Amino acid sequence: MIAYLDCFSGISGDMFLAALADAGVPFEVMRDAVASLDLGARLELRRVDRSGIDAAKVDVLTAEGELAEVAHGGAAATGHEHSHEHNHAHDHDHSHEHGHSHAPGAPHVHGRSLAKIEEVLLGSALAEGVKASALKAFRLLGHAEAKIHNVPVESIHFHEVGAVDAIADIVGVSAGCDWLKIERWMCSPLNVGGGHVHCAHGKFPVPAPATLELLRDLPVYSSGVKKELVTPTGAALLRALDTVAAPNFPAMSMGATGYGAGSKDIAGQPNVLRLVVGEASAPGLRAVEDNKTKVGVIETTIDDATPELLAYVAERLLAAGASDVYRAPVQMKKGRTGTQLTILCSPAKAEALQRLVFLETTTLGLRYREEEKTSLARSFASVETEWGAIRIKVGVLDGEIVNSAPEYEDCRMIAEKHAVPLKQVMQAAVAAWRAQGSPR
């Protein structure tokens, strides 16, 4: 399955939540995920009209039933979404203080640090996949703000109320995306809007600094609307999902469509995010996406680090957005046995990951290059076994299935639930796939 986000009117956290609900994700999946955090916030779903388009709208409400917002500025660093009723309404005359995170020396440094937000998420009962996605989004936001202000990420704070709003958006979207089990996220060029926003650090042109940092290497444009259309929360969620740009609507066998509303009508265009979910390939169609992409490769060799340290670093790199991390034994100078650490990533994340390698390992230097990666178009099929349904990951080349494998997480959950050896579950899934007459 693939999903395509049509961002002709931008993207924000609440728009993404609503689009997921409208596309068929059970609303209770997102609502219950947010409620489980016990932060005094809840999600509510309603229908609205945006320039003649019927769309879903999700609001984040406090325990008192009020919209989660900051009345006098100083909202979350995350979202510029301190009020969902203010989303996409920031023009050049906007007088509210725009809610970046606060670095040392800036006003309003009170609030939740990134470490505190991580503590909330890690200590929650959320599924591991939901935790990982939400943590990744917040870390991307924190590192973007830290880079802008040239301060350690530990110094970044999120306004208390605004942080609750942003956590609700990010956790809700993460839960919805986890439920969909999308193999590849794609997006259109992003309409970022225009005008200016005011924040604790002054007046900035749209896109705001954090948004601009997060959108690196994604195609952007402005339709001339004097409003902020892409928020940092929306940009961070795109990055956390490893979204790839699609200059044109991708070829797919469409399954579901959802429209998620922002808070204002815009002259000449509906203020909605469109989400389309479908199969990555259909009979007679070639691969959906361009199967050639650029991948960054970071390498270093280390001979004075413990296995425990390198294992920890690998976890940190994956959490920070690396596509893959692997280690291999090597023979170094003076007869020393060392480890070659290799990190694969999108070029946009290379700088942050290189910094992390220097901070967390004992290396004094590293190598970086970009290579061309060729991938098969991928989708999911489903087979029935005696213990339940299992997804089969399928690789397609020129419309022909050339590779397939049972999805590990599905097999693991069934093995644990029914106390069956994992290899038996995987063998049963492969047998069921072949019984359907599948070629591989």
- Smallest Cα–Cα separation from 50: which of 343, 262, 363, 222? 262
One domain for residues 236 and 349? no
**Quick one: residue 232, left, alpha or beta (phi over 0 = left, psi -120 to 50 = alpha)?**
alpha
Number of independent structural domains in the chain: 3
| Contact (Cβ atoms closer than 8 angstroms) between residue 254 and residue 23 | no
One domain for residues 308 and 204? no
- Confidence at residue 151, expressed as pLDDT on a 0 to 100 scale: 80
Element (H, E) at 180: helix 160-180
- Confidence at residue 68, expressed as pLDDT on a 0 to 100 scale: 53
Block residue for tokens 């932060």: 39
Q: 209-220 in b/e burial notation, b at 16+ Cβ within 10 A?
A: bbbbbbbeebeb
DSSP string, 96-164: SPB---B-TTSS---SEEHHHHHHHHHTS---HHHHHHHHHHHHHHHHHHHHHHTS-GGG-EE-HHHHH
One domain for residues 201 and 123? yes
CATH code for the domain of 419: 3.10.20.300
287 occurs within a structural domain: no
- Smallest Cα–Cα separation from 328: which of 349, 314, 318? 314
Block residue for tokens 């922002």: 262
One domain for residues 245 and 338? no
Burial of 333 (0-12, 13-18, 19+ CB in 10 A): exposed
Between 292 and 353, residue with greater pLDDT: 353
- Confidence at residue 251, expressed as pLDDT on a 0 to 100 scale: 77
Which of 240, 255, 279 is where one domain is finished?
Answer: 279
| Contact (Cβ atoms closer than 8 angstroms) between residue 33 and residue 172 | yes
Element (H, E) at 213: helix 209-214
How many other C-beta atoms can be found within 10 angstroms of the C-beta atom of residue 343? 27
Element (H, E) at 17: helix 13-22
One domain for residues 251 and 364? no
For residue 228, what are the domain limits?
Answer: 2-279
- Confidence at residue 103, expressed as pLDDT on a 0 to 100 scale: 45
Query: Is the pLDDT assigned to residue 301 strictly greater than 70?
Result: yes
The string of pLDDT tens digits covering residues 39-50 is 888 899 999 988
One domain for residues 254 and 356? no
Mean predicted lDDT score pLDDT of the chain: 81
Query: Is the pLDDT assigned to residue 72 strictly greater than 90?
Result: no
440 occurs within a structural domain: no
One domain for residues 272 and 237? yes
